Structure 1
Amino acid sequence: MNFLFVADPLSSFKTYKDTTFAMMRELQRRGHRLAACEPQHLQWQSGQPVTALVRRIELTRQADDWYRVTHQGREALRDFDGVLMRKDPPFDSEYFYATHLLEQAEREGARVFNSPRALRDHPEKLALMEFAPYAPATLVTRSAEAIRHFHDEHKDIILKPLDGMGGMGIFRVGPDGMNLGSIIETLNRGGHTSVMVQRYLPEIVDGDKRLLLIGGQVAPFVLARIPQGSEVRGNLAAGGKGVAQPLRDEDRVVAEAMAPVLAARGLLLVGLDMIGNRVTEINVTSPTCFQEIQQQTGFDVAAMFVDALERVTQVSNR
């Protein structure tokens, strides 16, 4: 089968840890053909199908020159067996527009994963509000007064922007309220920007766990991203240490309750972030951690993902 990846520039991939690369490698190992483009290469002209300037590629075994281009040209997305949207956050205006082009391609017969509509309907931080029983106490607001009331109630809180990634812009404010006013001003920009506020979870010392939901199933291992030193953030991009661990039974209960709901909405791959037994984010744009888990446990997450991808594309092609 033919698969197209809509992703960041291939030259930016860190293949030793990149999840999209792991997907490509497993697909090629099974004999599937690969192509890649960037969101900026998508095009929709009236009266014509959605196309992209596509590079057909083959993976090599070399660390630096890890792929070679075998053909380049404009192709219709509907002509691929599957299109994988793997552009990293942030979810900005251009990402939003790309999902509309991808949704039009779906109407023309393309099979896109994750579903463009589901990507729009599940902002990675806001989406957890639907699953409040599994989440910590959370507030989303532009109001400085509401944030102060939330702090008065919960004493120890985390504040973060809705469009952040990799731990960017995350602040902790303890019972003394030190710098709360300044942090609110920084994040909500005078009331013009919404902020997410959550009760601080002390279980963060044991790690911010990434659970992977694939085709409605839960992967048997998680990656606990453990803060280092005085950091409150466990994100790998913020210096956290990634430690793969077996999935705990109590976490499985939560994940298995959410997984089929999200899968039914067209979310083939979801990265569920949990601290303790609470869900803190639902990542749907380009969830990662495949390679870290495989390298530490031997469990082939990419194989599990491609199994699910083959199932859904084969069903669609019947």
Structure 2
Amino acid sequence: MSQNAIKLGVVMDPISDLAYKKDTTLALLWAAKAKGWTLYYLEQEDLYLYEGRAMGSVRALEVHQDASHWFDLGEREAMPLAELDVILMRKDPPVDEHFLNAVHLLGFAEREGTLVVNPTRALLECNEKLFAQQFAHCIPATVVSCNAAVLRAFQAEHGDTIFKPLDGMGGSGIFHIGPDGRNLGSVIEQLTERGQRQIMAQRYLPEIKEGDTRILLVDGEPIPFGLARIPSAGETRGNLAAGGRGVSRALTDRDYWLVEQVKPMIREKGLMFVGLDVIGDSITEINVTSPTCVREIDDQRGTDIAGKLMAAIESRLG
């Protein structure tokens, strides 16, 4: 391998636990390997700060396209993170205290010149549920509150309503309350932790039956095919983790219009890899922590989304 090979670190959930057939982080690592880059593996707990420098207890990583043996890890070594050219922050939500502390530590490496994807400032600023609220003309009717009276009034106004936590992923903690309001009190009580925690209520979009479409943006530009996550029978959640079925579809004129609305801010914040969630004509979330669905789109459309991202990273490194 070239002495000048780009050094890429990845902060992720345990690699032994990932779903080999569909994991996006694995696709990103394969694409980096294809470019001859040197890979280093970190879990969130391997990050630390020593005398003001971001450090990592890193392990050299080899990845393979083999369902029975997809990685090899080297021995641990202490490394200043600034020795890495780029770090992919791919730890899945929840965006809790541990996640935010890890992002702060990565910020120290960033200030020494390491490229973090996505940038730490954006990860700290862009809550995936709240970020989309800046584009009020692109989203369904929404309220964010921990106040039961406010949440009840919103449900009374809109009837069918979705309630969800602000820090979940994969459809966890999402409730659909019908016009009769049955179980509304217990849902609000549980999600808000008795009025202590802000949650989101959103007008239910019946178009969810046709799928919740993930649209991926690489360096601000949309991949021309999205992945419609279609709920299983009796479900209101299209998330693949909740049993949804993923069907790739070409982006519509409306999808491209929605992308154009958010693109300037995504570019301004330096976000290199973003997933918009679109139901019908509306954006419901803007995912910036660890967007997924690369493998499903690539498999169905023959695209190379991870390769596009690595090329964009290479260009950014200059």
TM-score range, shorter chain: over 0.9
Contact 1:218 1:259 in 2 (8 A): no
Q: TM-score, normalised by structure 2?
A: 0.96
Among 45, 49, 65, the residue aligned to 1:44: 49
Among 198, 208, 212, the residue aligned to 2:212: 208
Measure the CA separation in 2 of the matches of 1:20 and 1:259. 23
Measure the CA separation in 1 of the matches of 2:237 and 2:44. 30
Contact 2:30 2:64 in 1 (8 A): no
Q: 2:76: which partner in 1?
A: 72
Tell me the matched-pair count: 313
Measure the CA separation in 2 of the matches of 1:79 and 1:51. 10
Deviations 1:120-170 (A, max 9, x none): 100110111111110111100011100111112111111111121111111
Measure the CA separation in 1 of the matches of 2:202 and 2:150. 12
Q: 1:166: which partner in 2?
A: 170
Deviations 1:100-121 (A, max 9, x none): 1111111122211101110010
Q: 1:304: which partner in 2?
A: 308
Deviates more, 1:71-80 or 1:87-96: 71-80
Task: Tell whether 2:229 aligns with 1:221.
Answer: no
Q: In the TM superposition, what is the alpha-carbon distance from 1:69 to its structure 2 partner?
A: 2.7
Q: In the TM superposition, what is the alpha-carbon distance from 1:308 to its structure 2 partner?
A: 1.2
Q: 2:180: which partner in 1?
A: 176
Measure the CA separation in 2 of the matches of 1:196 and 1:179. 17
Contact 1:78 1:111 in 2 (8 A): no
* SS of equivalent residue, structure 2 residue 107: helix
Q: In the TM superposition, what is the alpha-carbon distance from 1:71 to its structure 2 partner?
A: 4.9
Measure the CA separation in 1 of the matches of 2:184 and 2:73. 52
Q: Which amino acid aligns with 1:207?
A: G
* SS of equivalent residue, structure 2 residue 50: coil
C-alpha spacing 1:12/1:162, structure 2 compared with 1 (3 Å): same
Q: Which amino acid aligns with 2:62?
A: E
Q: Which amino acid aligns with 1:51?
A: M
Contact 1:217 1:260 in 2 (8 A): no
Among 33, 47, 60, the residue aligned to 2:38: 33
Measure the CA separation in 2 of the matches of 1:71 and 1:92. 29
Contact 1:217 1:256 in 2 (8 A): no
Q: Which amino acid aligns with 2:214?
A: R
Task: Tell whether 2:150 aligns with 1:146.
Answer: yes
Among 19, 23, 42, the residue aligned to 2:28: 23
Q: 2:92: which partner in 1?
A: 88
Measure the CA separation in 2 of the matches of 1:313 and 1:292. 28
Deviates more, 1:55-64 or 1:152-161: 55-64
Q: In the TM superposition, what is the alpha-carbon distance from 1:297 to its structure 2 partner?
A: 1.1
Measure the CA separation in 2 of the matches of 1:212 and 1:52. 30
Q: Which amino acid aligns with 1:39?
A: Q
Q: 2:12: which partner in 1?
A: 7
Q: Which amino acid aligns with 1:248?
A: T
Measure the CA separation in 2 of the matches of 1:13 and 1:278. 31
> RMSD value over aligned CA atoms?
1.2
Among 223, 232, 238, the residue aligned to 1:234: 238
Q: In the TM superposition, what is the alpha-carbon distance from 1:62 to its structure 2 partner?
A: 2.8
Task: Tell whether 2:107 aligns with 1:103.
Answer: yes
Measure the CA separation in 1 of the matches of 2:93 and 2:145. 21
Q: 1:288: which partner in 2?
A: 292
Q: In the TM superposition, what is the alpha-carbon distance from 1:45 to its structure 2 partner?
A: 1.5
| Stretches of structure 2 lacking an aligned partner (at least 5 in a row) | 1-5
* SS of equivalent residue, structure 1 residue 50: strand
* SS of equivalent residue, structure 1 residue 204: helix
Q: TM-score, normalised by structure 1?
A: 0.96
Q: 1:253: which partner in 2?
A: 257
Q: In the TM superposition, what is the alpha-carbon distance from 1:263 to its structure 2 partner?
A: 2.5
Q: How does 1:118-133 map to 2 (within 5 A)?
A: 118-133=122-137
* SS of equivalent residue, structure 2 residue 144: strand
Measure the CA separation in 1 of the matches of 2:111 and 2:194. 41
Q: 1:53: which partner in 2?
A: 57
